[in-house]
Structure 1
Amino acid sequence: MAEKESEVEGLEHMFTNENAEPVHISYSVIESITKTFYRVIGHGGFGTVYLGSLRNDPMVAVKLLHPSQDLSDTQFMAEVKCLTRVKHKNIVRFLGYCAYTHEVVMKVEGIDRMVDIERKRFLCFEYAPNGNLQDYLEEKTHGYQWSIRYKIIKGICQGLHYLHQKRINHLDLKPANVLMGGAQMEPMITDFGISRHNDGTQSTIVTKNAKGTLGYMPPELITEGKISSKSDIFSLGVIMRRLLMGSDDENYTENAHDEEPLKAHDK
């Protein structure tokens, strides 16, 4: 019990200290703050997001990553490391992670072995009470003033510029992955599930397993598997177009709740 309270205190401390580092969170605490996964606040291609609350009412978003062949421990830790190194007002704040594995003793080929029967991976973020940019494009774009649209575009540009300075390519920038946080609805980039960190030795990476959301992926990524900072700039241009046009063009509409990012080379 004391250990659980200590972990919750660690999470609460992050709301009063901007320089606090993300923490490891036990599965029991994840269950506690989400009230055993009581309220779902979002779905995506990589996971389900639950609302969580701490003792003094700070709200958090807890993302349960979908189990898949792509979610290896190496990839999970790569995403955690990526999130840990980014701290910017236009990047959703990463609070902590949980890697839970339930093991039992089973006979395998006549030998008793410890076998994983359940694996769960969670990421915990600050809660953005105003939804995401996709919601606003669908529901409130016509009520936007130009100054508000400009502010949103500027915020996304600042967040993206920060990521590129850190040599991080997001690779799935779209309205559903831009949260609107706080009373000022400050845009915050989120969902780094397929992001790539470039060590700086090359400006372009070539992959045989390009991922992203069609309509926001640049042609060179779809046809040649080329990844660079230009990939995010293309996505940014699509978002800007939608904001400036003030309409939800069906050619660029994605379902923010249940669309899974597509693998271009699986077409």
Structure 2
Amino acid sequence: MDGLQKTNQTGALKILFEGAITQTTLVDIGVVCVDEYHLLGKGAYGSVFKGKLGDRNVAIKQFKLDPSRIIDAMQEISILKTCDMHENIVKYYGCKHQNEHLLIILEFCDLNLTNWVKNKSIEITPLEVLHQTTKGLSWLHHQKIVHRDLKPENILLTRKLVRVKLSDFGLSRQVADGHSHILTKNDAGTEGWLAPEILNQQLDESSNKFMFVSKTSC
């Protein structure tokens, strides 16, 4: 796939991508409605809106089908499918090709950590927030996944069952078997939350830990 991207064979890439969407979409995902007036946030490669999957409130990550983003989108879907069985990772419901956009349908959460710090509208202690965030990170590391963009906006909370959920895996990467880190460009993460390993272009689990400590020490 890298070869197709480097040689700009966009037609072949699109066919492969649409095939991957078919394989990763739920068999009966149902009708998906996007409320483009209710923007929840912006991820690494797309905007996230509130929407409906049948009668269920969901978050829908929407981005235009772009051959230059095909591999990134497939990686994000793959990581979501691998990790979402953990209670502290945002739930993945499926994806859908609709009106020249790829829709990634995710669990709807009530607010992010930034908003919670301001209003404490969900009854949970700071210690429990740290505990659940650590559990989510530990699960990612167990799956050999480096998040690369851990920040308060990507840590979500739900009122139901009072859960903390890690989200936005658009920049995440999986460490290959037999390796202890991944090489990366300086485009990973958000300014102000970057770990030294990112600046050195070598990422491992310690980069997530640095972002986590930086976030929780504020």
TM-score category by the smaller chain? 0.7 to 0.9
> Which of 99, 113, 120 is the aligned partner of 1:133?
113
* Contact 2:144/2:175, CA 8 A, preserved across alignment: yes
Q: TM-score of the superposition, structure 1-length normalised?
A: 0.65
2:31 alignment partner in structure 1: 29
| Residue 177 to residue 197, structure 1, CA distance change in 2 (3 Å) | same
8 Å contact kept, 2:61–2:104: yes
| C-alpha distance in 1 between matches for 2:53 and 2:196 | 44
Shift of 1:23: 1.5
The code of the aligned residue for 2:26 comes to: V
Contact 2:113-2:157 at 8 Å conserved across structures: yes
**Residues 210, 42 of structure 1: CA spacing in aligned structure 2 closer, same or farther, 3 A cutoff?**
closer
Is the 8 Å Cα contact of residues 186 and 198 (structure 2) preserved in structure 1? no
1:209 and 1:67 mapped to 2: Cα distance? 24
How far apart are residue 67 of structure 1 and its match?
6.2
The letter of the residue matching 2:204 is: S
Q: Check conservation: 1:24, 1:96, Cα contact below 8 A.
A: no
Give the residue type in structure 1 aligned to 2:101: K
Q: Structure 2: where are the runs of 5+ without partners?
A: 1-23
CA distance in 2 between counterparts of 1:154 and 1:22 reads: 32
- Would you say the 8 A contact 2:44–2:168 is kept in 1? no
1:157 equivalent in structure 2: 134
Aligned residues: 194
Structure 2 residue 195 is the aligned partner of structure 1 residue 218:
yes
SS in 1 for 2:111: coil
The C-alpha deviation readout for 1:118-162, integer Å capped at 9, x for no partner, is x4222100111x21001122x236x999x7000000000000000
Between Structure 1 and Structure 2, whose CA radius of gyration is higher? 1
Q: Separation in 1 of the partners of 2:46 and 2:28?
A: 18
Shift of 1:208: 3.5
Q: Map residues 1-267 of structure 1 onto 2, 5 A cutoff.
A: 23=26, 29-30=31-32, 33-34=33-34, 37-55=36-54, 57-65=55-63, 70-71=68-69, 73-86=70-83, 87-100=85-98, 119-128=100-109, 130-137=110-117, 139-140=118-119, 148-222=125-199, 224-242=200-218
State the AA in 2 paired with 1:61: A
CA deviations on 1:155-213 (whole Å, 9 max, x unpaired) are 00000000100011101000000110133431100000010011221102222354111
User: Among the aligned pairs, what percent are the same residue?
Assistant: 27
- Following TM superposition, by how much is the alpha carbon of 1:54 offset from its aligned partner in structure 2, in angstroms? 3.9
Per the TM alignment, residue 58 of structure 1 is displaced from its structure 2 partner at its CA by 2.0
CA RMSD of aligned residues (A): 2.7
Query: TM-score by structure 2 length?
Result: 0.78
